[in-house]
Structure 1
Amino acid sequence: MVRNTVRSASTLDSTLPGKLLRLVFHDCMVEGCDGSVLLEGNMTERNDPANTSLGGFSVVESAKELLELFCPATVSCADILALAARDAVEFAGGPHVRVLTGRKDGRVSLASNVRPNMVDTSFTLDEMIKLFSSKGLSLDDLVTLSGAHTIGSAHCSAFRDRFQEDSKGNLTLIDSSLDKIFADELIKRCPADVSSSITVNNDPETSMLFDNQYYRNLFSHKGLFQSDSVLFSDGRTREKVDEFSNNQESFFQKWGESFFKLINIGVKTENEGEIRRSCTSIN
């Protein structure tokens, strides 16, 4: 039921796979994989500025409504989100990976917990390593899960730190790790006075396909974020980037392992949570 819901929605909106993948990451890194990012209300995770651009909520809710009809109070929203992200990757051409179910939905969702647990696009490698390590994820997991940027898009503000604005409102590239031609394209797409709603594809080559192009882009100095480019420039991660850029099968295999670890962070079971009747509110 979840897979059919994801496929139907993604056929109508090709941006959904990227949104669902980002949604599960933002859920699992805060409070664990417990559906806390799905809860609505003042001061919940959804209200933090880092999460206001998230999407895909309606797909999860649609799957929940369907499941409640056929098997009420049985499948948690946390499970639906993990399954939906898996199916989104597969729909976009990525590998099919195993997902264990049995998660309970959390009852806590606080905006104040988001920033301390979320990667910022301007993070150094050391900052990312520290955060990922606190979640039980290795350096290889960091490089692998960054490959999620092979699909999806980002608002111009997410990489504006790589440019400087002069007194006339013109942008100039100040990050030498970014390809100049690519940077000029970004400036055209995202001038200083652009609407905050404008987005750019994470992968300028195959934006809708889950493949290893992300890593090839890093070799061409076309990583959209500073946190992308550092994976190529730092010797600790460059070898893995090289491996994945040359071998998509290797990336897909490792993706299955790292994604499995991601969606099992801080899982709640038994009395630690509940199975919500609606994903947007606790019972």
Structure 2
Amino acid sequence: MDPKLHQTILLSSFKLIPFIFIAVFLLSTPSASQLSSDFYLFSCPNVERLVRNTVESASALDSTIPGKLLRLLFHDCLIEGCDASVLIQGKGTERSDPANKSLGGFYVVDSAKELLEVLCPGTVSCADILVLAARDAVELTGGPSVAVPLGRRDGLVSSASNVRPNMVDTSFSVDELAQRFTSKGLSMDDLVVLSGAHTVGSSHCDAFSERFKQSSNGTMVPVDTSLEKGYAKQLAETCRAGASATTMVDNDPSTPSLFDNQYYVNLLANRGLLHSDSVLVTDARTRRTVEAFSESQDAFFMSWAESFVKLSIIDVKTGDDGEIRFSCSSVNG
């Protein structure tokens, strides 16, 4: 990262004001029950404001940050739980797995952590920072404000071998998606709600390459007939043979920078980018919810707030489990 950019984020993030906590969550699982919205009320009262300022400053300089932070949280919570294990660098870690090579936004979490280590040393976990950053990314792009419980501790284990058995693949069917979500304590409705994260962000062309094939003259031809023809043509031109491996496509072709319910409108118009998006309208168990959200953004936002909290407390570590890292990219010691 450019040192000047890093310095700009750090300085502009140091705008601290008192934060008023607005909700206390009552959680059912033993470890999650130790989380609280006022966990840092006395030990680091400005933590939420500082993280928000960091995300806001980074997003002003790079509009792709909100989508990256949201994706980063998903890739963290679905593996070892929400314990910041995806942030750890090194050979054989989650971060080194090919499925995580395209993740970004790490430096935003690192920047917030550096500031917090100055103000509240050894107090705020990287896991909590990541949850707050993803939460703020949604609100900053027009989504709902969500009160999240805090008090997570950072994990000590980060293994690439845990990624594939737990991560959701873009080629999954509804049954495969449901199985993966259910194994994490999430429902079918949570699946549809949290898939709405694709209303922001972007994907590499290879994330949906199975929906096309290369013809003899080098052009890309849709093999997935469920795609709307005009949209399929647009994708084929963007991801034509010879396109850069880093070529990206907006997840939402209509309002890519806004967190809204357009994702669901797109699905019903057969303009879902990923196979795992499109299948949500072909299965009666998920289509009804897609239709409901396409008609009411308020309904989507209300459901998002609930499902996001459920995502954020998957297999959390509290009490004596894990640690509070000094640096998000490595365990202590």
Q: Into which bin does the TM-score normalised by the smaller protein fall? A: over 0.9
Pairing 1:1-283 to 2, within 5 Å after superposition: 1-283=50-332
Aligned partner of residue 101 in structure 2, secondary structure:
coil
Superposed CA deviations along residues 75-102 of structure 1, whole A, max 9, x for unmatched, are: 0000000000000000000000011110
Equivalent residues of 2:153, 2:321 under 8 A apart: yes
User: Once the two structures are superposed, what CA deviation does each residue of 1:13-56 show, in whole Å capped at 9, x if it has no partner?
Assistant: 11100000000000000000000000000010011111000001
Once residues 257 and 183 of structure 1 are traced to their aligned partners in structure 2, the CA distance between those partners, rounded to angstroms, is: 34
User: 2-side partners of 1:240 and 1:270: how far apart?
Assistant: 37
Separation (CA, whole Å) in 2 of partners of 1:166 and 1:205: 28
- What residue ranges of structure 2 are gaps of 5+ in the alignment? 1-49
Whole-angstrom CA distance in 2 between matches of 1:220 and 1:16: 27
Could you say which residue in structure 1 is the equivalent of 2:15?
Answer: none
The residue type equivalent to 2:97 in the other structure is D
CA distance in 1: counterparts of 2:94 and 2:52, whole angstroms: 26
Residue identity in the other structure for 2:176? E
In 2: Cα distance, 1:257 partner to 1:44 partner: 30
Deviation at 1:127, TM superposition (A): 0.3
- Between the aligned partners of 2:216 and 2:99, the Cα distance in structure 1 is 28
TM-score, normalisation: structure 2 = 0.84
- Quote the offset at 1:168 in angstroms: 3.4
**Could you list the runs of 4 or more consecutive aligned residues of structure 1 that deviate by over 3 angstroms after TM superposition?**
none
Q: Report the alpha carbon displacement of residue 272 of structure 1 after superposing the two structures with TM.
A: 1.3
Secondary structure of 1:115's match? coil
> So what's the TM-score if we normalise by structure 1?
0.99
Distance in 2, Cα, partners of 1:169 & 1:227: 26
Aligned match of 2:6: none
What CA distance in whole angstroms lies between the structure 2 residues aligned with 1:74 and 1:168?
Answer: 59
Tell me the distance in 2 between the aligned counterparts of 1:93 and 1:226.
26
Q: What is the percentage of aligned positions where both structures have the same residue?
A: 64
Partner SS for 1:200: strand
Q: Structure 2: which amino acid aligns with 1:228?
A: D
* RCO higher in structure (CA 8 A, sep ≥6): 1
Q: CA deviation at 1:169?
A: 2.5
Q: How many residues align?
A: 283
**C-alpha contact (below 8 Å) 2:110/2:327 kept by paired residues:** yes
Decide which structure has the larger Cα Rg and report it. Answer: 2
Q: Distance in 2 between matches of 1:245 and 1:34?
A: 33
Contact 2:220-2:237 at 8 Å conserved across structures: no
2-structure distance, mates of 1:62, 1:240 = 38
Distance 1:121 1:32 in 2: 20
